[in-house]
Structure 1
């Protein structure tokens, strides 16, 4: 029997103004925030704030947490978000790995599961694996706890509104599969589907002190970008924005699995497969520079397993390209601290040296195998000298030999990665008016 509640059935969560207040409680963290500060920050009247916070407290979403001294008056009562009031699930469907994450209402990780995956096995077996992993994950929800839903992130292109993937490069069998509808049926939870890089960008945009506009450039088993402009993710009218990997940068270049030639992805991953990381960083920098020039963005954030295996190489390489073109956008690597994340080159548990070098190569099918439009060319061994190991071996504590493709399924609270964290916010974001 299911021991948890499902969905957003709390009346207070259906109010826009309540969402504004909740978001301020979220960003205030342990320090909390007073009713007067809430009124000042939201523009609502003190009376309206009092009514909203009373509802939030009655429904267990907020709690009073002591007093704070004030100038010229009595101490102000401080309110905090109650993180255990609800939970959410994030799923990262990568080409060779499945990561599932359970967080509380604040987005703090409760438990993490990771296992190998073959996206090419098709929708049936893959969704079976997702269903099993999420059900196991939900065992960590306390009895009576509310699960708001699951956010699922996977390679694009896909239709975010319809919840259906398109023709994923190298995996045409996913085209048109009703992923969102099928997972919602299996799990009995509301499900949101988005592109992996969009999910990561959303999560990054909701971090404290996030830049107003940035590009999250992800280099792992593929290459793509998540774009944030004016504090909001840019998906495009057909939700296809950010397909950076299939930007043509070399006419008559090597063929790509998308059907084009000379795509950024195939060139970059080929350099990784050869062990030429500085060259891969230079190619990645060319793509990042195009984004900066086209969109006038404030910052470039780098992530993905290939980048995280050599963060300094990629940060410096991309920065050098931008600087050489007279572009001043800062470049940093997104890294994790375990239960919450920060952006900074080499910081946290996922900096250089935290994995065994080359534990699984640059993606278990080999760096550049998708880019070349195959699943076999250069697999397993390709890229192992680049040290582009997966997060799985180091973060879940499993052992992996150089070039191997399998790592045991791991559980616990570790570093989930920007995409899995972002997937959670596909569900949590609307609760906070995002």
Structure 2
């Protein structure tokens, strides 16, 4: 195997020094994992390391992702070298920096085929945390997760998304700061200029754990950032809202920068369906799939080839506003006969089976267009009658498959959201929003 050294220092700059998390540059979250490292480092297996100085943090991300995947059992430096294609010397330098920054620790020793036992390393989950917030039209749900994605704190509260920017920002800030406060930390030190990266080592940048003080016997939280997920349409790259369906007053509002100024940490803004899809992909949902979320509205999160698909203007996934009936009921978007309007109208009449059939018709269009592997369903309306919706969507997709001669695309309720999926899709969205902050640290380019 060809091995690379990752630059003069072996690609070993720790995440705290060269994985720069900002508030809107790079791959959506503002994290520059190297100089444009493409794709993802983990999930389906680590990719080979690189030897350019400008991409050395890509090598760090490869190692971090393998440490996270290995779990509590850990992984040896030799295995890290074999999996990444880096030299043992490069891996030693990277892991030394990660240990110094508190991101990695010894996990014991493991017998080897010859010579002395190998020391194995593990990720330190409590070394960094992120908050994910789901802003639904009538509810706020916030979760605090560690580097493993484990939820260590959560809050829910009523919300009126139409109450105005100041009221919503205040409610979000209160939930985020409350979660930090419960765990002995508080975000501070706002970026000097919204949209610009946070300097390495500054509050909110990876690596801050090394300087964290103990509070009540616990390490002070290291704020990596906050992910916000809400209904679209919106501009993910700039963190600016468009005409959120039903709430046109949000059009043009710079939500990312406004929250970054208020909270003092990097902020990522994405559609709720994309956040859920990212969380599912990070959690092991492979291949290509569509996550359809029917709650107070209807949208889709698309994962193509293992990565979230947003499109060049980050507007992909406005599934609910494909028109199925030209003279249908008026939709909140201003059009008529949209899938969303037809579904919600059927639900309002108590015709859940009809709503499922309409959702299946839209899903069949999506399957025909994208040739995806599976359809996953979520959202509070689906959760109220899961069997009805799975059956209704499946029947439409099976009918399509009989016409085309294709194999029917499977349909099921989306897993995830903590406690083996029992907390619902709102939790899934919030956890996915937190993953949008963590993903670049581990080499995902679709966070």
Q: TM-score, normalised by structure 1?
A: 0.78
Matches of 1:308 and 1:73 in 2, distance apart? 56
Q: Match for 1:286 among 361, 364, 371?
A: 361
Matches of 2:119 and 2:232 in 1, distance apart? 47
Aligned to 1:231: 306
Q: TM-score, normalised by structure 2?
A: 0.76
Residue 81 of structure 2 corresponds to residue 45 of structure 1: no
CA distances 1:284-333 after superposition (whole Å, capped 9, x unpaired): 11111111111111121111111122222222221221112115222121
CA distances 1:189-239 after superposition (whole Å, capped 9, x unpaired): 11011111111111111113x222111111110000011112111111111
Residue 436 of structure 2 corresponds to residue 426 of structure 1: yes
Instruction: For residue 238 of structure 2, give the secondary structure of its aligned residue in structure 1.
Output: coil
Q: CA deviation at 1:70?
A: 4.0
Q: Is the contact between residue 303 and residue 418 of structure 1 (CA under 8 Å) also seen in structure 2? A: no
Residue 165 of structure 2 corresponds to residue 165 of structure 1: no
Matches of 1:328 and 1:70 in 2, distance apart? 47
Cα–Cα, structure 1 residues 78 and 310, in superposed 2: closer, same or farther, change >3 Å? farther
Aligned to 2:53: none
CA distances 1:92-149 after superposition (whole Å, capped 9, x unpaired): 1100000111111111101100011111112111111111111111113344321100
Residue 340 of structure 2 corresponds to residue 265 of structure 1: yes
Q: Is the contact between residue 23 and residue 432 of structure 1 (CA under 8 Å) also seen in structure 2? A: yes
Q: CA deviation at 1:71?
A: 4.1
CA distances 1:46-69 after superposition (whole Å, capped 9, x unpaired): 221121111111111011111233
Q: Match for 2:250 among 160, 170, 174?
A: 174
Aligned to 1:404: none
Q: CA deviation at 1:17?
A: 0.6
Q: CA deviation at 1:262?
A: 0.7
Matches of 1:32 and 1:232 in 2, distance apart? 26
Cα–Cα, structure 1 residues 329 and 74, in superposed 2: closer, same or farther, change >3 Å? farther
Instruction: For residue 119 of structure 1, give the secondary structure of its aligned residue in structure 2.
Output: coil
Instruction: For residue 10 of structure 1, give the secondary structure of its aligned residue in structure 2.
Output: helix
Aligned to 1:298: 373
Q: Is the contact between residue 15 and residue 61 of structure 2 (CA under 8 Å) also seen in structure 1? A: no
Aligned to 2:317: 242
CA distances 1:243-286 after superposition (whole Å, capped 9, x unpaired): 00000111211111111111000011111122222221111111
Residue 190 of structure 2 corresponds to residue 114 of structure 1: no
Aligned to 2:268: 192
Q: Is the contact between residue 163 and residue 193 of structure 1 (CA under 8 Å) also seen in structure 2? A: yes
Instruction: For residue 121 of structure 1, give the secondary structure of its aligned residue in structure 2.
Output: coil
Q: Which runs of 5+ in 2 are unaligned?
A: 1-13, 21-56, 185-214, 402-406
Aligned to 2:29: none
Q: Is the contact between residue 417 and residue 431 of structure 2 (CA under 8 Å) also seen in structure 1? A: no
CA distances 1:336-385 after superposition (whole Å, capped 9, x unpaired): 4635x5xxxxxx424xxxxxxxxxxxxxxxxxxxxxxxxxxxxxxxxxxx
Q: Is the contact between residue 308 and residue 335 of structure 1 (CA under 8 Å) also seen in structure 2? A: no
Deviates more, 1:96-105 or 1:139-148: 139-148
Cα–Cα, structure 1 residues 309 and 29, in superposed 2: closer, same or farther, change >3 Å? farther
Instruction: For residue 128 of structure 1, give the secondary structure of its aligned residue in structure 2.
Output: helix
Matches of 2:443 and 2:241 in 1, distance apart? 26
- The total of aligned residue pairs comes to 356
Cα–Cα, structure 1 residues 112 and 138, in superposed 2: closer, same or farther, change >3 Å? same
Equivalence map 1:81-230=2 (5 Å):
81-142=123-184, 143=215, 144-208=220-284, 210-230=285-305
Matches of 2:417 and 2:249 in 1, distance apart? 36
Aligned to 1:349: 422
Cα–Cα, structure 1 residues 67 and 229, in superposed 2: closer, same or farther, change >3 Å? same
